[in-house]
Amino acid sequence: MLQFIENDLQAECVALADRAKRASRELAIARGKAKNEWLRRSAEALRVRTEELLDANRRDIAQAPTYGLSAAAIDRLTLNPKRIDEMAKGLLEVAALPDPVGEVITSSRRPNGLEVSQVRVPLGVVFMIYESRPNVTLDAAALCIKSGNAAILRGGKEAIHSNVALHRVLADELVPSGLPGDAVQLVATTDRAAVGYLLKLPDRIDLAIPRGGESLIRRVVEEARMPVLKHYLGNCHVYVDAGADFDMAVSIIVNAKVQRPGVCNAAETLLVHRDVAEGFLPRAAEVLRGMSVELRGDEASRAVVPWMVPAEPSDWDTEFLDKILAVGIVDSLDEAIAHITRHGSGHTDAIVTSDLAAARRFVAEVDSSAVMVNASTRFNDGGQLGLGAEIGISTDKYHARGPCGLRELTSTKWIVYGEGQIRE
């Protein structure tokens, strides 16, 4: 573990990544039993060592003003017995998920008698770079180990003491569970150069996962020489079609906007078909106003609800992450799809409609990681879609798209058994 290293940080980073790579070879063939044992032992240890964790967390909280953290950020950073208990439960939930390693994806017997199968194997070493919430330390370690990958964790400086303490709890249970001691390592320095050094090691690190603000993600993508699993933005749309049920549409846009405005699958733009604008928009606008949502309308929607703030062109491309909603009227389903194609971020988009043909066209033509028909955008989430825990949501199309669970942390291998077959 790199702790407060000052000299030769680069060499330490290489050595850390080497240890991770060696550990990953043992982990790749570790039994599911050992991995689950580690998850259960770690859950128990979190509870037993709660005081030690709270002590470390208090040091982070004490220094939070130095970093100018907002009250909300300090709240996200804070640990308490209830939150530690939830973390422990999270580990047990991962233990209960099926082991993705060894899953047979396809298998066949070839005409020449070869027995061919494609099986799931771990990626190898996963490097997780994240911001202040210390529970990501737990989630990332749990999902990496369960999927057979060694983890290198790099949390934010604001949570350094909490992360060191959490990592110590996790690391102490590795060897007793029969797993390599370097399977979970923490980059325990606040020197940002360490991230840069590690991102330059594609032979040792198989995947980088940044979780945090857009600037962190862009920096990682720019510097990484290995694949990066990420999403930049969640500019999500709800489109209320001519054939929509108004009650349902109000309920969905309210849920998509208000239930948790600061997350990536919250809605940022409401599009309404012209035919229902007069009937639907005033109702929806009243309800949203009652929930303190600022509405920014285009000219057509302000003709229907004049008190809306005029929308600026940039509003269509903005992830507000706040109680702000852009509102536009479209003439047709085609126009709605064209708007989403132009302004959307490929994250999550929803249609509210009772028209089967419209639903099918929306599903086929909107090119996003998840497309919802008559459901809130907030359902684009690993737990909600049935993957169990998730390590993030990808808006890329390569390797993984949408919520990333255990399977998305794996690769595959072809295994061929024969009895002396040669190629003719």
User: Please, which residue, 80 or 108, has the CB nearer to its own copies?
Assistant: 108
Q: What is the CA radius of gyration of the chain?
A: 24
Shortest spacing between CB 122 and its own copies, in angstroms: 9
User: Please, which residue, 69 or 330, has the CB nearer to its own copies?
Assistant: 330
Contact 19, 185 (CB under 8 A): yes
User: Please, which residue, 19 or 161, has the CB nearer to its own copies?
Assistant: 19
Shortest spacing between CB 309 and its own copies, in angstroms: 26
User: Please, which residue, 124 or 155, has the CB nearer to its own copies?
Assistant: 124
* Category of 402 on φ-ψ map: left (φ > 0), alpha (ψ -120 to 50) or beta: left
Q: Which residues contact 372 (CB under 8 A, 6 or more apart)?
A: 348, 349, 350, 351, 379, 380
Q: What is the token pair recorded at 361?
A: 């066209």
Shortest spacing between CB 295 and its own copies, in angstroms: 19
Shortest spacing between CB 289 and its own copies, in angstroms: 19
Residue 183's nearest CA partner among 48, 38, 8, 304 is 38
Distance between CA atoms of residues 27 and 412, nearest Å:
15
SS3 85: helix
User: Please, which residue, 110 or 192, has the CB nearer to its own copies?
Assistant: 110
Question: Considering Cα of 124, then 162, then 89, then 385, what sign does the dihedral take?
Answer: negative
Site residues, its own copies (CB under 8 A):
25, 28-29, 106, 108, 110, 114, 116, 118, 121, 123-124, 206-207, 227, 245, 247-248, 251-252, 254-256, 259, 341, 359, 363-365, 367-376, 378-380, 384-386, 396-399, 401-403, 411-423
Shortest spacing between CB 308 and its own copies, in angstroms: 23
Contact 248, 167 (CB under 8 A): no
Strand order in the sheet with 184-188: 2-3, 184-188, 150-154, 125-130, 207-211
User: Please, which residue, 1 or 116, has the CB nearer to its own copies?
Assistant: 116
Shortest spacing between CB 259 and its own copies, in angstroms: 6
